[in-house]
Amino acid sequence: MTDHAPSRRAGRSGGRAARLALRAAPMSDDMRPIRPGMTGGTYRPLSNADVQKIHNAALTALETIGLADAPPSGVEILTGAGAILGDDGRIRFPRALVEDMLAVACKDLTLCARDPRHDLDLSGQRVHYGTAGAAVNMVDVTGNAFRDSTLQDLHDAARIADTLDNVHFLQRPMVARDIADNLEMDLNTIYACCAGTTKHVGTSISDPSHAQPCLDLCYAIAGGEAEFRARPFVSMSNCFVVPPMKFATESCESMETCVRGGMPVLLLSAGMSGATAPSTIAGAITQAVAECLAGLVYVNAIAPGHPAIFGTWPFGLDLRTGAMTVGSGEQALLTAGCAQMHAFYGVPGGAAAGASDSKMPDMQAGWEQMCSNVMAGLAGCNMIYEAAGMHASLLGFCHESLILADDIIGQAQRCVRGIEVDDETLALDQMAEVCMGGPGHYLGTDRTLSHMERDCVYPALGNRMSPKEWAESDRPDLIEQTIKRKEAILATRAPARFDPALDADLRKRFPIHLPA
């Protein structure tokens, strides 16, 4: 739980006793100022006409350009559904096919978690934040350096995320580079994530032949295939395209197995604007939409209504150097524009936000992580991936930054919640009372006290002390405080979120690397 307890004993005395009394009562869930799945959509970077233009351009692209490199199985599935294989090997999609598949596609998806308290309702423009990525480095904050990421790092990230109210799911953010065998890496990725958190887990599968073993591990964790199919708590993040407009042959094969095996898929199109996608924001969104529509046809041709997330993830490029960049205003617009397209189609959608180009959790990391996180939320993105802990243009993951993201996302969620306007919040009666014959201020009124808890998000690590208090408290450093919090989380929590008997069974059947 985020620490909402008052950390500063100093301050005004007016109403303090009443405030502390109020604090003593635990807050019920529906009283919390923010929660997963609040509805966004107050920010609309695209006009309705713009949305239509992008939609039409994407349909034209699918009809006239199509996608190359489908696997033989995919060609059969797609042409069987009505797509057309050209002499050039590209599969083209008639408009009516796309429209028909949109009609049957899964809409009001609940993404399950091992603990149902953490289930995610992806209907409408409900907003959730979580990790994701394939970072190959850990950011070593103390040493001001980068090092290879390991399985233990991944497990620790899961354990930390499990404690953070505002990180709503855990998609694998980094690669366990200490596991040489790729199948073992895929299996251990699932184990390390699920052993660390009971929130929804997203994972990747590096080879089609790994898909069934990964499903088997998920079934085993669930207590059986039927149990997993009923509440699939692991989704597959699937880079089914190699932009521009080519299927990723092997990833498509993995996807087919996962769809048939009952695992939700994130249809992930990660073009880079200026390299593998058009350099314009509108063009990059259009191509990502076209590619994800192709994926959506593919999935629904296999299993109509199968849970799939429309994963338009266009990224930015620093056109001066050709290097990827994720912390720019252009990135925030790419993601927010995509969120609006998801809402237009009415399908659960996801995009990337909250990542930084900075190498360390410094001021740049703060402004970059907030910019796209808050805009994606305001735009009503269902699943905001890469929202926590991501540095160095996706190459590094940072545990301290993950912890601080709880504060960042908390404030972003407060913005998503927005402004309630009604007779009570307009407060005209209070204003009259306070001003005419009243105390001349609103401190200590009943309504002020009740709003203290229900409407305000307090930072866990963000510091609101006055300069005087701060100096008297030995000038606490944000990162040092965060390192302490990290150490406390990792020291005090149980190492695995599995029943011992289940854990022993998993270890018998799968090559688990983490020590028991």
- Looking at residues 474 to 513 of the shown chain, list those that interact with a copy of itself (rule: CB under 8 A): 475, 477-479
Q: Is the Cβ of residue 231 or residue 475 nearer to a copy of itself in the bound state?
A: 475
Torsion of CA 331, 337, 340, 341, to 10 degrees: -110
Sign of CA dihedral 335, 359, 391, 414: negative
Q: How far is CA 419 from CA 42, 205, 304, 309, in A?
A: 10, 42, 39, 29
Q: How far is the CB of 347 from a copy of itself (least distance, A)?
A: 21
Residues of this chain, 55-84, that bind a copy of itself according to CB under 8 A:
57, 60-61, 64-65, 68
Q: Is the distance from CB of 245 to CB of 287 less than 8 angstroms?
A: yes
Q: Is the Cβ of residue 46 or residue 512 nearer to a copy of itself in the bound state?
A: 46
Q: Is the distance from CB of 445 to CB of 435 less than 8 angstroms?
A: no
Residues of this chain, 379-408, that bind a copy of itself according to CB under 8 A:
392-393, 395-396, 401, 404, 407-408
Residues of this chain, 195-224, that bind a copy of itself according to CB under 8 A:
none
Residues of this chain, 84-103, that bind a copy of itself according to CB under 8 A:
88, 90
Q: How far apart are CA 414 and CA 169, in angstroms?
A: 18
Q: How far is CA 185 from CA 89, 206, 487, 514, in A?
A: 34, 9, 26, 11
Q: How far is the CB of 257 from a copy of itself (least distance, A)?
A: 28
Choose which of 363, 491, 494, 501 interacts with a copy of itself (CB under 8 A): 363
Count, residues near a copy of itself per rule CB under 8 A:
135
Reduced to 3 states, what is the DSSP secondary structure of residue 475? coil
Q: How far is the CB of 512 from a copy of itself (least distance, A)?
A: 30
Reduced to 3 states, what is the DSSP secondary structure of residue 138? strand
Q: Is the Cβ of residue 262 or residue 316 nearer to a copy of itself in the bound state?
A: 316
Residues of this chain, 277-336, that bind a copy of itself according to CB under 8 A:
277-283, 285-287, 316, 318-323, 325, 327-330, 332-333
Q: How far apart are CA 48 and CA 46, in angstroms?
A: 6
Choose which of 257, 276, 312, 382 interacts with a copy of itself (CB under 8 A): 276
Residues of this chain, 417-436, that bind a copy of itself according to CB under 8 A:
418-422, 424-428, 430-432, 434-436
Q: Is the distance from CB of 105 to CB of 300 less than 8 angstroms?
A: yes
User: What mask of x and - would describe binding to a copy of itself in positions 168 to 197, judged by CB under 8 A?
Assistant: ------------------------------
Q: How far apart are CA 218 and CA 263, in angstroms?
A: 9
Choose which of 39, 43, 79, 483 interacts with a copy of itself (CB under 8 A): 43
Q: How far is the CB of 98 from a copy of itself (least distance, A)?
A: 16
Residues of this chain, 101-160, that bind a copy of itself according to CB under 8 A:
137, 144-146
Residue 31 in the binding site for a copy of itself (CB under 8 A): no
According to DSSP, the β-strands at 349-352 and 396-397 are: unpaired
Q: How far apart are CA 503 and CA 212, in angstroms?
A: 20
One DSSP character per residue, 111-137 reads: EP-SSGGG-EE-STTEEEEEE---B-E
Query: How large is the greatest C-alpha to C-alpha distance in the chain, in angstroms?
Result: 85
Residue 12 in the binding site for a copy of itself (CB under 8 A): yes
CA nearest to 450, candidates 3, 33, 4, 12: 33
Choose which of 451, 486, 493, 507 interacts with a copy of itself (CB under 8 A): 451
Choose the binding region for a copy of itself from 192-200, 294-302, 472-480, 495-503 (rule: CB under 8 A).
Answer: 472-480
Residue 365 in the binding site for a copy of itself (CB under 8 A): yes
Choose the binding region for a copy of itself from 100-108, 302-310, 343-351, 366-374 (rule: CB under 8 A).
Answer: 366-374
Q: How far is the CB of 489 from a copy of itself (least distance, A)?
A: 18
List of residues 6+ apart from 185 with CB closer than 8 A: 175, 176, 179, 206
Q: Is the Cβ of residue 3 or residue 181 nearer to a copy of itself in the bound state?
A: 3
